Structure 1
Amino acid sequence: MNSLISALRTYFPAASVITDELRLLAWGTDASFYRLIPQVVVVVESEDDVAYVLTVAAQKGIHLTFRAAGTSLSGQAVTDGILVLIGEAFATCEIGPDATTVRVGPGIIGGEVNYRLAPHGRKIGPDPASIGACKIGGIAANNASGMCCGTAQNSYRTLAGLRVVFADGAVLDTEDPFSVARFYESHATLVDELARLGAATRADEALAARIRHKYKIKNTTGYSLNALIDYEDPIDILAHLMIGSEGTLGFMSRITYRTVVEDPFKASTLVFFPTIETACQAVIRLKQEPVSAVEMLDRPALRSVEDKPGLPPIIRTLGNDAAALLIEVRAESAVLLQQRIDAALGALTGIATVEAPTFSTDPATCEMYWKVRKGTFPSVGAMRRAGTTVIIEDVAFPIESLAAATLDLQALLREHGYSEGIIFGHALEGNLHFVFTQDFSDAAEVERYARFMDEVCKLVIDKYDGSLKAEHGTGRNMAPFVEMEWGRQATDLMRRIKKLFDPDNLLNPGVIINDDPQAHLKNLKPMPAAEDIIDRCIECGFCEPLCPSHRLTLSPRQRIVSWRELSRRAAAGEEAADVGRDFAYFGLDTCAGCGLCSTACPVGIDTGELTRRLRGRGLGNKTPSHKVANWTAGNFGKVATASRVGLSIGHAVSGVVGESLVARLSGGAWKRGMPQAGKAPKAQQGTGTGDPVVYFPACGGRIFGANTADEATLPEVILELLVRAGYDPRLPAGFDKLCCGQMLASKGMAEEAEQMADTVTAALLKAADDGHGGYYPVIMDASTCSVRMQKHLAGRLALLDFHEFAHDALLPRLMLTRKRGPIALHINCSVRRAASDTKLRRLIAACAEEIVEPAGVTCCGFAGDRGFVVPELNVHALRKVHEALPANCCEGVSTNRTCEIGLTAETGRPYRSIAYLLEECSRTESMGAC
């Protein structure tokens, strides 16, 4: 072990070799119900890095696994050997001519590729439900498909070329003739054997027929044997064998896809049927029509979501045998769309439905329909008993057998006591997912699961000759059953392929091919109860792309995994040891608490809430005591004054010794472009001229002043704007001694924070009272604080963030001259969570001709004071902003003062409130470039 770590550290930077117990546990967890703790985690950023790890693994005789996003449901991304984590240098994307191809690295998220292709009207073919979180490496390695992809547009069918790093460190680029020629020379044995295997397979009529039959429906069980009959060129065979190989044959360092059209016109309908049989009759007819997706949901699946707001009330009235089909059609024009709608409706003619089907082109209605489908899996996960695991299995049947197979699966779930189980799936492909909950902490429960899976395999294989894995990859849970599905001859062929590529069995062993019949019952992941707010977590990893600390310390999923382990140890009387010590920094100090994770979480978990709760218990290195928090709550005026004095001293010192030295001496707390000390505006109680409005300047804008000494402060700018637009602003009495408490709430000091919010509430109610039983409009100028007070005042007083009020009330009253720009826009996490980003975009669009919204930047990581106390979080969160901003972009806007401080420091460009831009553009003189 020590020699392994030493060998890796002689080559990799220290941060790329992870050995602490906490993060080994965190990275040893993926979305499956398996867990293996790696001996070491290594982050690779190049093919040379991969080759070096392969060399070390071979020398030490230690197996390894490549990991992209870890959204795999079948355990392909965990190992007890070396976990090779694909770094961000592999997150590349090169769009080809006319966007008909796209060349991508394995580290880029599938949804990001589609985002970049969208302006060209194209997308990649695979469309897994996890596309917003999963990465290209996993999509290709599992041959993932999805709701509209089917078998025609998966990675296997849309592959145009790839680069592979093999177990011996050799590299092949199938798109480079010189690379191919060199490979023919250096790996003649491998190439010749692939050619021979292909020829022999094609010559064996029975085997070839069996392979063709197996791929008439979705199938990711075992290796892609269809490569041996679909292609004769050994390089083509090799390339297509890599697809779906789950990291067991080599490392795909680059993949070129042929893109597919993303039709702009879409329509959907949710059709209810009295029985599964009638729904499947409709599926068979629809298979012949130009429909893009047909999703089937059985009655338990519908029941799991029927009480969600906005869903059709008819769901609650359906009989026990009912089912539904969600049908979507797409087209390049409105005329063609209507033709396809008519064809789909025609196919349903004569089939019994609960009510007449009607297609909708309204995006909101279509989204509501899809919420029915997408809400089923998480609904089971959210309702499960604490300590249990949610399992989603993935099978496929010939479409003509779909009705009978669905009924048989329902019967098996009931027979084995999985009463909560639901079934849904991609009906056009005969692909069903069934979801149930399982307790792996009890031996009897594990045995029940084993019996159930044995019966499922017999049903799928013996009765229907279906696929045990349709689109999730073979993984650990179906590897022991590959031979049962394929038979000895085909499975032996797979074994020969594995041996040919990986003779020492170092690449992800036990995945795809596993001769241990009990392998699927080993290394089962515990899911101990920890906290009520996180026990629903299914560890899917959907949260990770939005988290500002992901890849710096821990992601939301990894924080939950870590706290579950610490809770387990506490319940068992075990010491927290190094895991507890490290969790203080990795888990709590560097959590921004922004809550963006909840917007992607299938069950709506805000891991920041866990962080705040634990900070409130005194955990974390950067958490103040309740005594300090209580004093702060009662003396905020003194806190504000002291902070402004500190800023003034800092500027005086930096003026003498320079900003860099002050930044170093302060541990990064002093920032480049640190704003001037703020000042409280003069109290205003209204002049009687104009429409009354109450303005509460948040403490961030009062403490942190303008970016330069000759610039107006944020409260001054907003007051000027309000008067200019014909409003009569008044400020709450004693406002400079008030704070909404967000600064304490983020540290887990909930009680003290509530005291501060209560004081602000009283002041706002008094200031806004119009004397006639109503209230004047109330605004605040920091989104985070506005959102907090909106929740606090709900049902009592309406409060708007400045950008919301500006959009609704100021735009109609101001004459604007748009600035040429470009101007950078940062939409902070509070605006995203409040879903007020549309208004912010419209507001800046009214002020600027060119807007830059950097992709890959979510929360800035400043998080109130986190940017001062753990500055590395802010730096990491904004690591992608630099390349996204054009050189001629010389200013930016946002809606939170501390976010703007961090953005200014990191980009070297002044970021200010959107109020500054609105004020500038509403002056009488015309605006030029920035």
Structure 2
Amino acid sequence: MELQKVESEIRKIISDTERVMRDPADLVSYSYDASFGSYMPDIAVQAITTEEVVNIMKIANHYKVPVYPRGQSTSLSGGPLPVQGGIVLDCSQWTSKLEVFPEDMLVVVSPGVTAKQINDAALKHGLIYPPDPSSMNIATIGGNLAENSGGPKGLKYGVTKDYVVGLEVVTPEGDIMRTGGKTIKNVTGYDVTNLIVGSEGTLAVITEATLRLYPKPQATVTLMALFDNLIDSGHSISNILSAGIIPAKLEIMDQASIQAVEEYQPTGLPIDVEAMILIELDGHPVAIEQEIEVVRNVCTKYNARKVEIAKTEEKALALWKARKLVSPAIVRNKPTKISEDATVPRSKIPEMFSRLKEIRQKYDVELVIFGHAGDGNLHPNIIADANDLEEMKRVEKAVTEIFEAAIELGGTLSGEHGIGTLKAPFLEMELGEVGVDMMKRIKQAWDPNNILNPGKIFAEKGQQFSLTND
């Protein structure tokens, strides 16, 4: 790799010396994300215009240097890790465009803008941007699009891909392409927009997005249902949905996550229950009143100890804050958190809960269950200590069985975190040999030199799932 020439040519197109980095002290911050593994890049570049990305990709193609697009690196699957060195293309500072078109209910944004900033801008016009990944305060929309991020509101409103109307992207060979447009209906040619969304930065660099907005609901109500049995809570979740109620959010916390939150920041949650589900209903106030009764009746039928309505906005916010605190709370006892997002059909939620309890006992691991249970997108997290190699080997076996259970129940390896590096060895288990081969053909057609985010999604020959270095 002719790094001196690559750096020299990049500096010709980016005169701001602080946006092109070669010092190891700078590069180390680009070597990791929120998952596992650390890989040092050779160069890091902060891009803030489409023209800069075009030129960087042309330089990279000429010298056959890998390029790794990156936002704020909240990825839990290794999405932006520079596993083969090369160039990290940091788009997190690219925030120049955030333009709302209220009459069209659209917003046009640069890749470094966050989901929260988009929603805040929409609210000024009586609109919302529904996708709400837990990292929405800091994660960039470019990263959300690359991973097709979800969130609690995915149950009713869908995930990121459901709000993408059009994109501007730069291809691996340095050409600008626009997909979609500003119309809600568009069936001209292949749906390239949805091919790029969720492709984990392996097909193109997203430089601009046109996103759909939604009217702000008239009213919102939060309910809390408590259960002495995790499986009963699973039956309640699936039966709320089959009763015709589609909550905005339907989240679960098991006993371990409730206890962890109460130890971390006490909010008065009962720590003697085996599960708690939080339900947010939104829409017309009259309709919500009827939906509350349906939810209450379903939960009572499946042995809910208590179903309580948050009487004030402050109480509702406190409950949802407790849900968001699960991730930081559960790592207080052990430093290593393995966060998974295996997803199953809604009807299989009770059975998946049962399988997770069995896996926890079989491998003697600290497995905490929470997540977006309403759409089957669970977050079984295992808390461990990476320095305890024997424990980590048990964790690896437990995670493998979690994936196997999800697939056996008709589910998927990932509902919102993506495949990245961590889940690549399991891809064929879900898609089959032909499915993986067809995806590889698409990658080859788009990126013949394999320079854009290589080492992601597709496992290298002999690659095994591992959370340790040995």
TM over 0.5: yes
Give the equivalent residue in structure 1 for 2:271: 316
Partner of 2:255: 299
Q: How much does 1:352 deviate? A: 1.0
Q: How does 1:221-370 map to 2 (within 5 A)?
A: 233-235=188-190, 237-287=191-241, 288-307=244-263, 311-312=267-268, 315-318=270-273, 322-331=274-283, 333-355=284-306, 357-370=307-320
> Once superposed, what is the RMSD of the aligned Cα atoms?
2.3
Mapping of residues 382-393 of structure 1, within 5 Å: 382-384=332-334, 388-393=335-340
1:8 and 2:13 matched = no
Quick one: which amino acid aligns to residue 463 of structure 2?
Q
1:113-152 map, 5 Å: 113-150=118-155, 152=157
Distance 1:72 1:474 in 2: 10
| CA distance, structure 1, for counterparts of residue 401 and residue 28 of structure 2 | 33
- In the TM superposition, what is the alpha-carbon distance from 1:366 to its structure 2 partner? 0.6
* 1:581-633: CA deviation from partner (whole Å, max 9, x where unpaired): xxxxxxxxxxxxxxxxxxxxxxxxxxxxxxxxxxxxxxxxxxxxxxxxxxxxx
CA deviations on 1:248-275 (whole Å, 9 max, x unpaired) are 0001111111112332421112111121
**How far apart, in 1, do the equivalents of 2:292 and 2:168 lie?**
42
Determine if contact 1:290/1:340 at 8 Å carries over to the other structure: no
Whether 1:373 and 2:327 are equivalent positions in the alignment is: no
| Percent identity over paired residues | 26
In the other structure, the counterpart of 2:449 is 504
Q: Which residue is 1:405 aligned to?
A: 352
Question: Are 2:251 and 2:278, in contact at CA under 8 Å, matched by a contact in 1?
Answer: yes
For residues 326-372 of structure 1, the C-alpha deviation after alignment (integer angstroms, 9 at most, x for no partner) is 111112x43333233233224334221112x1212411111221133
Looking at structure 2, the residues matched to 358 and 437 of structure 1 have their Cα atoms a distance apart, in angstroms, of 30
Give the number of aligned pairs. 461
Q: Distance in 1 between matches of 2:468 and 2:454?
A: 14
Match for residue 418 of structure 1? Answer: 365
CA gap 1:269/1:460 in 2 versus in 1, 3 angstroms? same
Distance between the aligned counterparts of 1:397 and 1:166, measured in 2? 34
| Counterparts of 2:436 and 2:29, CA distance in 1 | 34
Shift in Å at residue 155 of structure 1?
2.3
Alignment match, 2:62: 59
Q: Give the TM-score normalised by the residue count of structure 1.
A: 0.48
Match of 1:72 in 2: 75
Give the drift of 1:474. Answer: 1.3
Q: Do the aligned residues in 2 keep the contact of 1:19 with 1:41 (CA within 8 Å)?
A: yes
Task: Say whether the 8 Å CA contact 1:480–1:516 is kept in structure 2.
Answer: no
3-state SS of paired residue (2:341): strand
| In structure 2, C-alpha distance between the alignment counterparts of 1:89 and 1:35, rounded to whole Å | 25
SS of residue matched to 1:150: helix
Query: Is the partner of 1:506 in helix, strand or coil?
Result: coil
**Closer, same or farther in 2 for the Cα pair 1:64/1:441, shift >3 Å?**
farther
* Secondary structure of the corresponding residue to residue 314 of structure 2: helix
In 2: Cα distance, 1:427 partner to 1:23 partner: 40
Shift of 1:17: 0.9
Q: Please name the residue that 1:434 is paired with.
A: 380
Q: Secondary structure at the match of 2:13?
A: coil
| Gap change, CA 1:364 and 1:87, over 3 Å in 2 | closer
SS in 1 for 2:305: coil
Partners of 1:233 and 1:512 in 2: CA distance? 28
SS at match of 2:430: helix
| Aligned partner of residue 395 in structure 1, secondary structure | coil
The residue aligned with 1:521 is 466
Aligned to 1:705: none
Greater relative contact order, per chain length (Cα 8 Å cut-off, separation 6+): 2
Decide whether aligned partners of structure 1 residues 516 and 169 sit closer, same or farther in structure 2, where only a CA change above 3 A counts: same
Deviation at 1:65, TM superposition (A): 0.5
1:421-457: CA deviation from partner (whole Å, max 9, x where unpaired): 2101111111110112334345545533432333222
Query: Are residues 522 and 17 of structure 1, via their aligned partners in 2, closer, same or farther at CA, if it must alter by over 3 Å?
Result: farther
1:110/1:132 contact within 8 Å kept: yes
1:82 corresponds in structure 2 to 87
Over 3 Å counting, the alpha-carbon distance change for 1:151 and 1:232 in structure 2 is: farther
Residues 158 and 117 of structure 1: CA distance in aligned 2, closer, same or farther (over 3 Å): same
SS of the aligned residue for 2:211 comes to strand
CA distance in structure 2 between the partners assigned to 1:75 and 1:151 by the alignment: 28
Structure (1/2) with the larger strand percentage: 2
> What is the Cα deviation at residue 290 of structure 1?
3.5
Find the counterpart in structure 2 of residue 903 from structure 1. none
Instruction: Note if contact 1:36-1:523 (Cα within 8 Å) is conserved in structure 2.
Output: no
d(CA) in 1 for partners of 2:42, 2:429? 33
Separation of aligned partners in 2, 1:41 and 1:68 = 12
* Cα distance between partner residues in 1 of 2:266 and 2:181: 53
CA distance in 2 between counterparts of 1:176 and 1:301 reads 43
Partners of 1:167 and 1:249 within 8 A in 2 = yes
Is the contact between residue 155 and residue 248 of structure 2 (CA under 8 Å) also seen in structure 1? no
Query: Secondary structure of the residue that 1:381 maps to in structure 2?
Result: coil
**Which SS does the other structure have where 2:378 is aligned?**
strand
Q: Does 1:37 align with 2:45?
A: no
How far residue 517 of structure 1 moved from its aligned partner, in angstroms, is 4.5
The superposition leaves residues 59-111 of structure 1 with CA deviations (integer Å, 9 ceiling, x where unpaired) of 22111110111111111122022100115344421111426111111110110
Q: If each structure's helix is expressed as a fraction of its own residues, which one has the higher value? A: 1
Structure 2 contact 74–139 (Cα < 8 Å) conserved: yes
> 2:405 — aligned with what?
459
Q: How does 1:551-590 map to 2 (within 5 A)?
A: none
The 5 Å alignment of 1:755-834 reads none
Q: Distance in 1 between matches of 2:32 and 2:130?
A: 28
Unaligned 5+ runs, structure 2 = none
Note the 1:181-192 alignment, pairs <5 A.
none
Q: Distance in 2 between matches of 1:87 and 1:458?
A: 35
Give the distance between the partners of 1:21 and 1:498, measured in 2 at CA: 31
SS of alignment partner, residue 316 of structure 1: coil
Quickly say closer, same or farther: Cα 1:449–1:310, change in 2 above 3 A.
closer
Instruction: Give distance in 2, aligned partners of 1:351 and 1:456.
Output: 26
CA contact (8 A) 1:267 1:330 kept: yes
Structure 1 counterpart of 2:226, which letter?
A: F
Aligned residue identity for 1:155: T
Change (3 A) 1:155 1:5: same
Task: Report the TM-score, using the length of structure 2 for normalisation.
Answer: 0.92
| Matched position secondary structure for 1:460 | helix
Code of the aligned partner of 2:326: T
Does the 8 A contact of 2:234 with 2:353 survive in 1?
Answer: no
Contact between 1:110 and 1:136, CA under 8 Å: does it hold in 2? yes
Deviation digits for residues 658-704 of structure 1, max 9, x if unmatched? xxxxxxxxxxxxxxxxxxxxxxxxxxxxxxxxxxxxxxxxxxxxxxx
Work out the CA distance in 2 between the residues paired with 1:2 and 1:522. 34
State the distance in 2 between where 1:261 and 1:125 align.
Answer: 10
CA distance in 1, matches of 2:346, 2:246: 17
Task: Look up the equivalent residue of 1:171 and give its one-letter code.
Answer: I
Q: Is the 8 A contact 2:166 2:181 kept in 1?
A: no
Partner SS, residue 98 of structure 1: coil
CA contact (8 A) 2:236 2:299 kept: yes
Q: Does 1:475 align with 2:426?
A: no
Within 1, Cα distance between the matches of 2:442 and 2:468?
26
Runs of at least 5 residues in structure 1 that lack an aligned partner in the other structure:
178-229, 527-930
8 Å contact from structure 1 (residues 294, 325) kept in 2? yes
1:807-828 Cα deviation digits (max 9, x unpaired): xxxxxxxxxxxxxxxxxxxxxx
Q: Secondary structure at the match of 2:423?
A: helix
